[in-house]
Amino acid sequence: MHDCVKSLMAFLRLQCGTLRIRLALRLIGLFSLLLCLCLVLVCAMEFLFIRNHVRRLLNTYTTEFQYEYICRMEEPPDGTPLPLNKIPQHWLKAIDGVISNFHPFGAYSISHENHYSIAGTAEGTPCLVEYDSRLDFVPKVQRFTADGHLDYLRAEFHEEMFAHRADQMFLLSTTPNGTLRCASEFEKNFLEATLERMQKSPVEDGYFPLTVADEDCLLQFSTLYDGNRLVIGVDVEKYRKFILQEIYVFLGVLLAMIPVGAIVAFYMSRHVLQGLVQLGNQTREIAKGNFTQQLPRQENVQEINDLIDSFNSMATKIHGLLMELQDVSDNVAHDLRTPLTRMKAQAELELQRGNAVDIAATVAENCDDMLLLINTMLELTRLERHFQPVAPVPVNLNALLLKLHEAFSTLVEDKCIDFKLDLPEKQIHVLATPRGIEQMIANLIDNAIKYTPPGGRIDISLTEQSGTAELHVADTGCGIPENEISKIFNRFYRCDHSRTTPGNGLGLSMVKAVAESIGGKVCVQSVLHHGTTFTVSMPIDVFASPPAVTVEKK
């Protein structure tokens, strides 16, 4: 049993450590948080609604009892209570023109007749004023005596209690110092607490919360026209219970929605992370050596697609690098095997003849070939890693091209090739190592001579374009197939038609490495059977001040 528990706990820890489970748990937490926020928002709205509803109810009854206390009659049957602060000042001015010193205490609007009934006092006498807002006219004024108001109010209290439960609302009237005048039937503890609060200190007109025996109610105090007080209370306990019931219902819905949210979250996490799962599977395939796998793109998941594209590109480049490494290994083995085989055969032949001197010469010659190959590879590595053992200096390209042109002239004449050099008047300098840039240009000229047939033409020109020196080496040789142009700068790569020509396939690799080491680049344009043009662009050393020279040599 203990082992089973340990295994279960280990499995849960392993699953909780996966990105899918963690993402699903975060989605569930976010979903639950949103539901809780909705609960808080709903409860806040319910609370505000109930508070405003209770206050409107208290205002309605206060207006009604103020009106009935003055007039000793029911409020207009089709009237709407009008708050005293909503009575326009020009109405009161119109009323003052008819009855002076009028103070309103309760008002009702009869909208379909544009009439208003306003109860108040004029010089201490209760009266009722009828006002026509359309004509701004007071058609009628009624005055009342001060007798019988309390009995009428007591009767109205009992009448209202028939319409409302006694445990939900209570009504009472007191003297200014808190002595009870009349009250509706309600619990004595509320009555005692209200009277005690009024007798303790004066209570201004307005709302006052009161808690008795863990039950809450809201009171509204108002002053009647004769100075006595009117108190109306509403039990808010039922509203609080209503909010609690809604909270319980919402919590139940929340608990019921959590499993649904968990299912949705697990499905969404599985859908979103599908690309990562496939990426992991492909990584395992690559670890086995299979670099041809390509992940399919996902629908509507841009971030995962970006990751998939990057991984596919990386896998393709790794595959290309491995294939290039394999080709380089094969070519190196071939280039090293050839001089070793020749050296071995020559040594065996000379041993049979007994000629030790020729054996030594052959061994030395082939060792020189292998050392040249190895040194070229090391030089390429240093250039590609931007490691320069010698500091670059300004190199005069005009002078260097003149020197190389003269050096290759004899070889060109033997093949009857038209060999031209075109240099500008301005002396152009570049910042480079003299040996490296000389080797780069020599490789380009040697390639042009090697693949240009007798009677052909080689043109070398140097130009300046916006602070950049451009060296052009053009020939009328055999050209390069279009599908092989992008590969000619790879180490040891040789086109099919050039495999019978002497060389090791490192010349153009060296050209590209030297050009890039000085901030330049190499471009090639070729038409099969018509010729090839190599263009090397190099930044000019603007601090050099060369003399002018014009040279054109054939």
Contacts of 26 (CB under 8 A, 6+ apart): none
What local confidence, expressed as pLDDT, does residue 547 receive? 46
Distance CA 423, CA 441 (A): 15
Quote the tokens at residue 207: 């709302």
Sheet containing strand 215-223, strands side by side: 180-183, 169-174, 229-235, 215-223, 206-212
What's the chain's Rg over C-alpha atoms?
53
Going by pLDDT thresholds of 50, 70 and 90, the confidence category of residue 400 is very high
Number of CB atoms found within 10 A of residue 284's CB: 11
Q: How far apart are CA 81 and CA 289, in angstroms?
A: 88
Task: Identify the weakest region by mean pLDDT among 35-39, 262-266, 311-315, 481-485.
Answer: 262-266
- Evaluated on CA atoms 327, 330, 331, 332, the torsion sign reads positive
d(CA 6, CA 253): 35
pLDDT score at 382: 65
Return the DSSP state at 483. Answer: G
Residue 553, pLDDT score:
43
| Dihedral sign for Cα atoms in the order 373, 374, 376, 381 | positive
pLDDT grade for 380, boundaries at 50, 70 and 90: low
Determine the distance from the C-alpha atom of residue 126 to the mean position of all C-alpha atoms in its chain, rounded to a whole number: 71
Q: Is the pLDDT of residue 258 over 80?
A: no
CB 393 within 8 A of CB 433: yes
Helix, strand, coil shares of the chain as percentages rounded to 5? 55, 20, 25
Tell me the sheet residues that pair with 80: 109
Task: Order across the sheet with 531-539: list the strands.
Answer: 521-527, 531-539, 468-475, 457-465, 418-422, 552-553
Reduced to 3 states (helix: H, G, I; strand: E, B; else coil), residue 366 is: helix
**How confident is the model at residue 14, as a pLDDT?**
44
The two structure tokens encoding residue 138: 């007071």
Q: Which of 468, 467, 447 is nearest to 511 (CA)?
A: 447
Whether 166 has a pLDDT exceeding 60, the answer reads no
The whole-model pTM stands at: 0.46
Q: Residue 472 corresponds to which tokens in the numbers above?
A: 């052009």
Across all residues in the chain, what is the average pLDDT?
A: 78
Give residues with Cβ within 8 angstroms of 350, minimum separation 6.
356, 358, 359, 362
Per-residue pLDDT averaged across 151-164, rounded? Answer: 78
| 259-278 pLDDT, tens digit each | 777 777 677 666 666 666 77
Q: How confident is the model at residue 444 (pLDDT cuts 50, 70, 90)?
A: very high
Instruction: Map residue 133 onto helix, strand or coil.
Output: coil
Q: Work out the percent of the chain whose per-residue pLDDT is above 70.
A: 73
Cβ atoms of 217 and 235 within 8 Å: the answer is: yes
Q: Which residue did the predictor score with more confidence, 502 or 88?
A: 88
Residue 240: pLDDT band with limits 50, 70, 90: confident
pLDDT tier for residue 238 given thresholds of 50, 70 and 90:
confident
Helix (H) or strand (E) holding 432: strand 429-432
Supply the pLDDT for residue 522. Answer: 93
